[in-house]
Amino acid sequence: MILMFVLVIVLGIISVNSGKMNLTPLEVLNVLLGNGTDRQKVIVFDFRLPRIVLSILVGIGMGASGCIMQSLLRNDMASPGTLGISSGSGLFVILVIAGFSLDGLSSALLLPVLSFAGGLTAALLIFLLSYRKGHDISPTRLILTGVAVGSGYSAYTLLITLRLDQEKMEFAQRWMAGSLWGDDWKYLAVLGPWVLVLVGYTLYKSRTLNTLRLGNDTATGLGLAVKPEFLGLSMAAVALSSGSVALGGNFFFVGMISPHLARRLVGPNHKMMMPAACLAGALIVLLADTITRTISMGSDIPTGIIITVLSTPYFLYLLSKSD
């Protein structure tokens, strides 16, 4: 975990020195110390640092959300994307794009809240459709229901997107591809506390997650109030993924892969696994964004596409090694 934290810091330093507008490490250091030209200050403080902070926050949020969902459902394929929660959040984000301007502090407050409402609505619908009276909710049934509901939400999202004007449609398409668009300090002032408070809550509940991972019957036998704890942690997972989705697009691969990496590195104990999943998510998003900003590919490629390219080989490797 110390090594992963150091890697995040090192990659952040590399990222702030990288980009289409070249700055030397000494010039960046001068800017951070309060010196440097106005142009250099604009590049560092208005373009690069907000993007780096956003990448780290989105990675932390998606990593923690995926870790919670995989533990609650006891299914290593669970994530905000596979459960359809990201699609519900995405639909509400597209509605905001269609009906409101994205400028100003009001949108910074409105987007995460409505995205959370969309994700929560999707989660409630999925749970209701998966529920059978007198039976515990089957994780497999829950995921299959989530895939179906997510497909329906995605269809509505596409329908609304096709009715947008050219400018909003281009923005919506880039958002759906995973573009880190909310790289502005006013958005980060909302997302930062949102993510950090919720991650703090999940870290506090790490022992509860360890118990729930054993199964509902065992957790009940150990004296845990399963339903309230399950509900609270589910809400935290939805809120984390919704806030990340609102300002960073649909990075569902991060929520799926980060817990796998963390489990292999530090084991299944959530006291270690949860922060490791957050760091893994931050590393993945920050690395992908640094690549998109540094390497010329003929066009501005959304970060989510690079994440998919980086994550797919490892995901296939996990599938080949699974029993």
Instruction: Check residue 150 and give its pLDDT.
Output: 86
Instruction: Check residue 90 and give its pLDDT.
Output: 84
Instruction: Check residue 200 and give its pLDDT.
Output: 95
Higher-pLDDT residue of 309 and 240 is 240
Instruction: Check residue 280 and give its pLDDT.
Output: 95
Query: pLDDT class for 57, splitting at 50, 70, 90?
Result: very high
Higher-pLDDT residue of 179 and 276 is 276
Q: How far apart are CA 293 and CA 17, in angstroms?
A: 11
What is the residue type of 162? L
| Per-residue pLDDT at 323 exceeds 60 | no
Angle at which helices 105-130 and 226-248 cross, to 10°: 140
| Per-residue pLDDT at 298 exceeds 60 | no
Q: How far apart are CA 284 and CA 55, in angstroms?
A: 9
Rounded mean pLDDT, 65-90: 84
Rounded mean pLDDT, 27-49: 86
Rounded mean pLDDT, 18-33: 81
| pLDDT tens string 83-123 | 788 888 888 888 887 876 666 545 666 777 888 888 888 88
Query: pLDDT class for 199, splitting at 50, 70, 90?
Result: very high
The region, left, alpha or beta by phi > 0 then psi within -120 to 50, assigned to residue 156 is alpha
| pLDDT tens string 211-237 | 988 887 888 898 888 888 988 998 899
Q: Whose CA is closest to 117, among 97, 99, 91? A: 91
Q: How far apart are CA 106 and CA 60, in angstroms?
A: 24
Q: Whose CA is closest to 87, among 13, 148, 166? A: 148
Chain mean pLDDT for the chain = 85
pLDDT more than 70, % of the chain: 93
Q: How far apart are CA 60 and CA 283, in angstroms?
A: 9
| Per-residue pLDDT at 159 exceeds 70 | yes
Give yes or no for a contact between 241 and 26, defined as CB atoms under 8 angstroms apart.
no
| Per-residue pLDDT at 56 exceeds 90 | yes
Rounded mean pLDDT, 69-91: 83
Instruction: Check residue 101 and give its pLDDT.
Output: 63
Instruction: Check residue 2 and give its pLDDT.
Output: 92
Beta-carbon neighbour count of residue 305 at 10 Å? 15
